[in-house]
Amino acid sequence: MAGELSPIDKAKFVAAKRAAAFVEDGMRVGLGTGSTAAWLVQCLGERVHEEGLRIRGVPTSSRTAQLAREVGIQVISLDEAKWLDLTIDGADEFDGDLNLIKGGGGALLQEKIVATASDRMIVIADAAKEVETLGAFPLPIEVIPFGWQTTQALVEETLISMDVLGRSSTLRMNGDVPFITDEGNHILDLHLGRIGNARQLALVLNQMPGCVENGLFIDICDTVVIGFGDGKVEL
Ligand code: 5RP
* Complex ipTM over 0.85: yes
Gap from CA of 124 to ligand 1 centroid (Å)? 10
Q: 140 in ligand 1 pocket by Cβ < 6 Å?
A: no
pLDDT score at 2: 66
Gap from CA of 4 to ligand 1 centroid (Å)? 22
Name 143's Cβ contacts closer than 8 Å, sequence gap at least 6: 151, 152, 185, 186, 187, 188, 210, 211, 212
Q: In Å, what is the CA distance from 170 to each residue of 111, 137, 214?
A: 22, 13, 14
Tell which one of 12, 13, 14, 33 to mutate to probe ligand 1, the residue whose CB is within 8 A of the most ligand atoms: 33
Q: 90 in ligand 1 pocket by Cβ < 6 Å?
A: yes
DSSP 8-state code for residue 139: E
Q: Is the full-model pTM beyond 0.90?
A: yes
Distance of CA 235 to the CA centre of its chain: 18
Q: 104 in ligand 1 pocket by Cβ < 6 Å?
A: yes
pLDDT tens readout for residues 153-187: 999 999 987 878 888 999 999 999 999 999 999 99
Better-predicted residue by pLDDT, 166 or 33: 33
24 is catalytic: no
